[in-house]
Chains A and B, each alone.
Chain A
Amino acid sequence: MSAAERETLLEVEGLVTRYPVARGVVGAVARRPKETVHAVEGVSFTIAPGEMVALVGESGCGKTTTAQTVVRMVESESGVIRFRGREITRLSARSLRPLRREIQMIYQDPYESLDPRFTVRDTIEEPLLVHRIARGKQEREAKVREALERAGLTPPDLFIDRFPHELSGGQRQRVAIAASLVLDPKLLVADEPVSMLDVSVRAGILSLLDGLRKDGMGILMITHDLSTAAHFADRIAVMYLGRIVEEGPAREVVRNPQHPYTRALITVVPKRDPNEQTTPQILTGETPNPIHVPSGCRFHPRCPIAEDSCSRIDPSLQRPRDAATPDHRAACIVTAPGPSADEVGPGGHGSV
């Protein structure tokens, strides 16, 4: 069953988010041109209930901004965000409030995201009080305990009265997840949920998210770690400089990558088996800064297979010639030449 046939939970279309660059007083007086960080430039994807989509990319590629825009923490410049069929792109803070229950965010650092003066109970109870959900202390207590159990902190009695400093990193992240689960959300947005944790406990947190997904939760996971995405996500979207350059079933994207950027990334990820290391195809230099985005295909200055026209044509996501599944797409005129590839990118945002 493809994502399109299922009910869609989240639908993002042509999302554009830009930040102005502070010029400072000197810059303004000197009339330096106003500059813009093109953080997200025309990103589209969907998440179905019970589906985990991983947004993968290097720092500065726009994956976190995409997540923040989706949960309306950051305002988009254009594009459409639909949640359970309803457009939420421009909803006021007031009309957004009931939706905040249904879309919850999990942050990277459980050492920072928990209030050190709050017990586990206080932390998990807080969202119930804010959203005025449970009536009475007893009902709240029951919900807190249920959330603890769903987050794998069992028996709840062992954890409910503890303070964050009495918990390990993995347990803290479970408390943060429990505080999201207590609201019974439909969509979880997890921004690098395990990168601060020790390797030995990461799998536990990821399996917890996997279990929630199996129970019907939609999950958007932001990660820089392709191996984690390959193991736990249903689909992977690879971002480069504000764009999704490749998207498809997780297995297909890592085993049959079609965009030259993804292909290079796959070769440089160290493998567990010392005898199975591939020769890293190291791209020179670093990702250009998102203020001055290259013309045409934004990857062309670093691309090993770029052709002349790549500096002019901004490719849209197309089905690659060598794709094995119909829902695998890449933005590359060489590996995925499309009928509609023209000199303007998806959503009509030329960057020349």
Chain B
Amino acid sequence: MSTQPVLKTNDLHVWFDLSGGRELHAVQGVSFELRAGERMGLVGESGCGKTTTILALMGLLPSSASVAGQVYLDGEDVLAKGEETVSPHRWRDIAMVFQGAMNAFNPVKTIGAQIAEPMELHGTASGRAARAQVRELLELVGISGERADRYPHEFSGGMRQRAAIALALACQPQVLLADEPTTALDVMVQAQILELLVRLTRDLGLSMILVTHDLPVVAQVCDRAAVMYAGEIVEMGNMSTIYHDPRHPYTRMLFAATPDLLGDEAVVSIPGAPPRLDHEIAGCPFTPRCDTAFSPCPTTHPRRLDVGSGHEARCHLNDHLVAERPA
């Protein structure tokens, strides 16, 4: 690979303290790379650890969480010394649009003042320069610069979501993490926001991780996808490869459970529910719901295996690839 990744995580783990000395292992060894201008989807059901993963990248987990592993931004391990090493990068190099951000604006401050806040806080711009940048940012996300003096209630839902994206871009980050940015929006407004996100990555060279439960949204917007289940990335690769040649049954079954507008196949739900993560799971966590589980699945945890160029999966069905390949 010629270009160095903008963002790289290596064996990232997150545990939450529960009452009674128990722990919830929310993220279990997540590793991936993100290149400049790349759009990656982080997909999975609720509780799979996708939001926890990106909060860990931002260093924004609550104090009840402990983190292990490395997160490299431009080659520097930003988790090495905790807050001390993360805070210079937060918002300046890596920024996030939170789920429901469009409803989290302060109702008594103008949109413009709220977008200028991170600039002043991080010293990237202040006063007149900040105001000028705010107007530029608003124009960039498709809002007239004059509306900087308006209050959140004067914006529609779609406009507030655009403003939330402008806010995340205030300090010109290289990486944008977007957590379910279109979930509460109507399909037409969703299309407008997705188009905006694609345009921003193209025009600004911004890299993006799109966190969503909605596979078709990833199919439309992202180059690559990482499918998470029970705290792990179970499959990752080019979006088209993952759709046409899934190498983990969960990916295949998740696609089959998703109705397609023009598809004719029956839509089939996945039986059962994801496992609880407050105790360690011996074998593959998907075994009880899997339609192709076999002898090693309940007892042996599957390794991460390369199954093609830039395509990896954690499933024993791919174990023969290792046997065939000389070590």
Q: Is B45 within 8 A of A282, CB to CB?
A: no
In B231-267, which residues have CB < 8 Å from any A CB? 239-240, 243-244, 253-255, 257-263, 267
- Tell me if B217 counts as interface (CB < 8 A to partner A): yes
Interchain CB contact under 8 A, B269 and A202: yes
Measured between C-beta atoms, what is the minimum distance from B179 to chain A in Å? Answer: 16
* Assembly CA distance A198 to B270 (angstroms): 10
Q: Smallest CB–CB gap between B161 and chain A, Å?
A: 11
A302 and B269 CA atoms in complex are apart in Å by 38
Please name all residues of chain A whose beta carbon is closer than 8 Å to the beta carbon of B257 when the two chains form the complex: 199-200, 202-203
Q: Contact between B259 and A270 (Cβ–Cβ < 8 Å)?
A: no
- Residue from A200, A207, A224, A232 in contact with B187 in the complex, judged by beta carbons closer than 8 Å: A224
Q: A residues 242-294 with Cβ under 8 Å of B? A: 254-255, 264-266, 268-277, 280, 282-283, 286-287
- Provide the bound-state CA to CA distance between A277 and B218, in Å: 11
A182-221 with Cβ < 8 A to chain B: 198-207
Indicate whether B190 reaches chain A with its CB closer than 8 angstroms.
Answer: yes
- The interface residues of chain A, by DSSP majority, are classed as helix
- Does the CB pair A227–B188 fall under 8 Å? no
Binds A, one of B71-79, B86-94, B208-216, B309-317: B208-216
Give the Cβ gap from B274 to chain A, nearest Cβ, in Å: 8
In the complex, what residues of B have CB within 8 A of residue A199's CB?
Answer: 45, 213-215, 254, 257-258
* Known A58-B186, A254-B262, A271-B260; contact A286-B156, beta-carbon cutoff 8 A: yes
Is A168's CB within 8 Å of the partner chain B?
Answer: yes
Shortest distance from the beta carbon of B259 to any chain A beta carbon, whole Å: 4
Within 8 Å CB of B219, what residues of A? Answer: 270-274, 277
- Per-position 1/0 for B118-151, Cβ under 8 A of A: 0000000000000000000000000000000000
Question: Does chain A have a CB within 8 A of B281?
Answer: no
B60, CB-defined interface residue at 8 Å: no
CA distance A226 to B262 in the complex (A): 10
Question: Which residue on chain B has the smallest CB distance to residue A267?
Answer: B191
CA distance A269 to B263 in the complex (A): 13
**In the complex the two chains form, is A280's CB within 8 Å of B262's CB?**
no
Q: Check A282 against B187 for contact (C-beta < 8 Å).
A: no
- Whether A231 and B186, one on each chain, are in contact in the complex, defined by CB atoms closer than 8 angstroms, is no
A286: chain B residues at CB < 8 Å are 156-158, 186, 188-189
B258 neighbours in A (Cβ, 8 Å): 199, 227, 272
Contacts A58-B186, A231-B267; A255 near B262 (Cβ below 8 A): yes
Contact in complex: B261, A271 (CB < 8 Å) = yes
Q: Is B192's CB within 8 Å of the partner chain A?
A: yes
Number of cross-chain contacts by CB at 8 Å: 122
B323 at the interface (CB under 8 A from A): no
Residue with the greatest number of chain A CB neighbours at <10 A, chosen from B216, B243, B253: B216
Answer yes or no: A36 CB below 8 A from chain B CBs.
no
Check B191–A272 contact: CB distance below 8 A.
Answer: no
When distances are taken between beta carbons in the complex, the residues of chain A under 8 Å from B214 are 199, 270
Q: Does B66 reach chain A (CB closer than 8 Å)?
A: no
Q: Which of A285-315 contact B (CB under 8 A)?
A: 286-287
Is B10's beta carbon under 8 Å from chain A? no
Identify the interface centre among A274, A282, A286: most chain B CB within 10 Å of its CB.
Answer: A274
Specify which chain A residues have a CB less than 8 angstroms from the CB of B157 in the assembled complex. Answer: 286
Q: Complex: how many Å from CA A14 to CA B255?
A: 40
The verdict on A113 contacting chain B, using a C-beta distance below 8 Å, is no
A226 touches B187 (CB 8 A): yes
Interface residue? B220 (CB, 8 A): yes
Interface centre among B213, B243, B261, B262 (most CB of A within 10 A): B261
* Highest count of chain B CB atoms <10 Å: which of A225, A265, A273: A273
- A residues within 8 A CB of B187? 58, 224, 226, 265, 268-269
A224–B319 Cα distance when bound, in Å, is 42
| A323 at the B interface (CB under 8 A) | no
Max chain B C-beta neighbours (<10 A), residue from A254, A266, A282: A282
Counting chain B CB atoms within 10 Å of each CB, the highest count among A58, A198, A199, A271 belongs to A199
Q: Which residues of the partner chain A approach B261 to less than 8 Å between Cβ atoms?
A: 226-227, 230, 254, 266, 269, 271
Indicate whether A228 reaches chain B with its CB closer than 8 angstroms: yes
Query: Which 10 A/B pairs are nearest by Cβ-Cβ distance?
Result: A270-B216, A204-B269, A203-B269, A268-B191, A200-B270, A58-B186, A270-B220, A227-B259, A274-B219, A203-B267
Task: Write the residues of chain B forming the contact surface with A, with a CB cutoff of 8 angstroms.
Answer: 45-46, 156-158, 186-192, 194-195, 213-217, 219-221, 239-240, 243-244, 253-255, 257-263, 267-271, 273
**What would 17 more interface pairs be, CB under 8 Å, given A58-B188, A226-B187, A232-B259?**
A58-B187, A199-B215, A200-B269, A201-B269, A203-B268, A224-B186, A227-B258, A230-B259, A231-B267, A232-B267, A269-B216, A270-B219, A273-B243, A273-B244, A277-B219, A286-B156, A286-B158
Supply 25 A–B pairs (Cβ within 8 Å), ascending by A: A58-B187, A59-B186, A198-B45, A198-B213, A199-B215, A199-B258, A203-B259, A203-B267, A206-B267, A230-B262, A231-B267, A268-B187, A269-B261, A270-B217, A271-B220, A271-B260, A271-B261, A272-B215, A272-B216, A272-B219, A272-B260, A275-B243, A277-B220, A282-B188, A282-B191
